[in-house]
Chains A and B, each alone.
Chain A
């Protein structure tokens, strides 16, 4: 076979694309080091005059970053844990347990994926506001702010995922029945079978689902914004940073905002770089994001 020439054009295209992809991130990092009056000044300069950490200190102080981090982390952990647990249990039941109504429930799970999220912002918010006997509400959901004034509100619409159940079911189906049957003959109950066999056997796909859920929950903005307007104490990182951006003079605060953004995206970026094979597989499994 003829030796292939070095693919110059391809390299050029891919590198140019990669530069276009990465430059905004670099601009964010560079701006986060720029001094007062330096950002937004004409003519534009990419590099800061000096690499000071003043903006990072300001971000931590002005943005109350520790609280925002805690809220984001608690909400993300609750959502991820709940999605993994409920998807695995339901996936096992739908894949390996025999019961009346199984096909119906499976079809129901599939149909939940048809409804786009925007359809639910209004009713979810109203349901949480009028949640009976919570946040000062009476039995008929009147009088108070309902569940919106608690960190649980951040998580509630995301605690179960139709896609997660579907994904787990597809992978649990592949476990041979003989393995499960052998455990049952040894006297294991269904819960033990699930915990001792199904969970270990599906660990890779659990990592994938967990990672997808974690990234989505950490980055979620619209719902967190709604809940935070009802109760600023449960504000998450994206909401808190956007708030600073909206209400203070942009030219002066932009470097501080960028510093806050750098800190807020770091955990997810690190997690992605460590586990990217799992994440990429997840995107393949879920279609497009």
Chain B
């Protein structure tokens, strides 16, 4: 390695301003070298973002306004906003049922996961061995969607566990995934089941930050458990609840792997959601233009929800 300080030692005998300039030069060189090193360290990431973020976004935007058979890059045929227009045209299935399914899927997941995790989190807070419970509730999160989807698909079968329980209770069997009316709720239950664990984690952390003195004061005033929950726990937990709500909603809008595994969008298009529709347009029908247009429509929805989230939390930050 070159010792940048070496010339400075000989310069000590010379006029002070020369030495000062040399020191400044050395500092400048060190700074320039730091910049070179910094960009060297950042190079893999920047290169990656150029090829796998900027380029694909531009490419997808181009495709969303083109018709293309997918072979020769020269054969991309620009068609303006035709792909978007066709998505929203009369008789298109994109608005209904695909987008409505997407919203129902996301909302249903949020509602179920929130109710379940709120109940569990407030109860866990009073127990010992919280680590053990958390471990159990976390199991679905570290399990691949293929395992989760297949186990539940099997449990929903006529000879599976869910119908076994129904039959044992004297009820008739339900063809959960084959009936268009029950397929979407059945998938929602699985998605909620798989996401309760992380929601419990966030809410438990939120509960820990509620001062114990609030509960003691409420107990002195003779408040019952329900009053304490509604008047103290819920309001103080609001930031955590809001966070779980929005992030879960965003995940719900985008996820389709579970549906690919369990129903492939069927029966009919009862469980077809936007991201799955995009996937099928592209990889089943080779309609890259429509697929890209659908992706951007969903992206706009996701972006809008994200901006609402940022806005809410920024406002919260100013209040505090």
Q: Which chain A residues (192-227) contact chain B, with CB distance < 8 Å?
A: 194, 215, 218-219, 221-222, 225-226
Q: Which chain A residues (219-264) contact chain B, with CB distance < 8 Å?
A: 219, 221-222, 225-226, 229, 237-239, 241-242, 245, 254, 257-258, 261, 264
CB closest residue in chain A, given B160? A44
Does A50 sit within 8 A of B, measured CB to CB? Answer: no
Candidates B72, B244, B295; contact of A118 at CB < 8 Å: B295
The complex places the Cα of A21 from the Cα of B31 at a distance, in Å, of 56
Q: Which chain B residues (136-158) contact chain A, with CB distance < 8 Å?
A: 136-148, 150-152, 154-155, 157-158
The complex places the Cα of A109 from the Cα of B50 at a distance, in Å, of 12
The complex places the Cα of A225 from the Cα of B280 at a distance, in Å, of 13
Candidates B41, B56, B144, B196; contact of A265 at CB < 8 Å: B144
Does A61 sit within 8 A of B, measured CB to CB? Answer: no
Whether A21 contacts B136 in the complex (CB less than 8 A), given A44-B163, A99-B39, comes out as: yes
Does A176 sit within 8 A of B, measured CB to CB? Answer: no
Whether A13 contacts B123 in the complex (CB less than 8 A), given A124-B56, A242-B150, A287-B243, comes out as: yes
Contact B161–A27 (Cβ < 8 Å): yes
Contact B126–A97 (Cβ < 8 Å): no
| Chain A residues touching B, majority SS | helix
Candidates A93, A157, A226; contact of B41 at CB < 8 Å: A93
Does B320 sit within 8 A of A, measured CB to CB? Answer: no
Whether A142 contacts B73 in the complex (CB less than 8 A), given A122-B63, A284-B202, comes out as: yes
Contact B119–A261 (Cβ < 8 Å): no
Does B167 sit within 8 A of A, measured CB to CB? Answer: yes
Contact B137–A18 (Cβ < 8 Å): yes
Candidates A14, A242, A265; contact of B143 at CB < 8 Å: A265
Contact A288–B202 (Cβ < 8 Å): yes
Does A283 sit within 8 A of B, measured CB to CB? Answer: yes
B161 contacts which chain A residues (CB < 8 A)? 23-24, 27, 44, 46
CB closest residue in chain B, given A15? B133
A22 contacts which chain B residues (CB < 8 A)? 136, 139
Contact A127–B35 (Cβ < 8 Å): no
A9 to chain B, nearest CB (A): 7
The complex places the Cα of A91 from the Cα of B273 at a distance, in Å, of 37
The complex places the Cα of A254 from the Cα of B46 at a distance, in Å, of 45
Contact A28–B63 (Cβ < 8 Å): no
The complex places the Cα of A152 from the Cα of B148 at a distance, in Å, of 27
Whether A40 contacts B157 in the complex (CB less than 8 A), given A97-B38, A99-B35, comes out as: yes
Candidates A18, A102, A258, A289; contact of B141 at CB < 8 Å: A289
Contact B138–A276 (Cβ < 8 Å): yes
Candidates B72, B198, B256; contact of A142 at CB < 8 Å: B72
Does A51 sit within 8 A of B, measured CB to CB? Answer: no
Residue in A11, A41, A44, A222 with the greatest tally of chain B CB atoms within 10 Å:
A44
Contact A114–B303 (Cβ < 8 Å): yes
Contact A123–B123 (Cβ < 8 Å): no
Q: How many residues of A contact B (CB 8 A)?
A: 103
Contact A25–B160 (Cβ < 8 Å): no
B313 to chain A, nearest CB (A): 11
Contact B34–A98 (Cβ < 8 Å): yes
Residue in A23, A24, A245 with the greatest tally of chain B CB atoms within 10 Å:
A24
B27 to chain A, nearest CB (A): 11
CB closest residue in chain A, given B251? A288
Q: List 26 A-B contacts (CB under 8 A).
A: A7-B123, A24-B152, A31-B154, A40-B158, A89-B41, A93-B42, A97-B41, A120-B53, A120-B60, A127-B51, A127-B52, A127-B55, A187-B3, A191-B37, A215-B142, A221-B261, A222-B279, A261-B146, A261-B147, A261-B150, A264-B144, A272-B142, A279-B142, A287-B202, A288-B243, A288-B247
Q: A13-B123, A25-B151, A226-B283 are in contact. List 7 more A-B contacts (CB 8 A).
A: A13-B120, A27-B161, A119-B56, A127-B52, A222-B257, A265-B147, A288-B248
7 closest cross-chain pairs (CB), A and B: A44-B164, A123-B56, A99-B35, A219-B144, A40-B159, A10-B123, A238-B146
Chain A residues within 8 Å of B, Cβ to Cβ: 7, 9-11, 13-14, 17-18, 20-25, 27-28, 31, 39-46, 85-87, 89-90, 92-94, 97-100, 102, 105, 108-109, 112, 114-127, 130, 140-142, 156-157, 159-160, 162, 165, 187, 189-191, 194, 215, 218-219, 221-222, 225-226, 229, 237-239, 241-242, 245, 254, 257-258, 261, 264-265, 268-269, 272-273, 276, 279-280, 283-284, 287-289
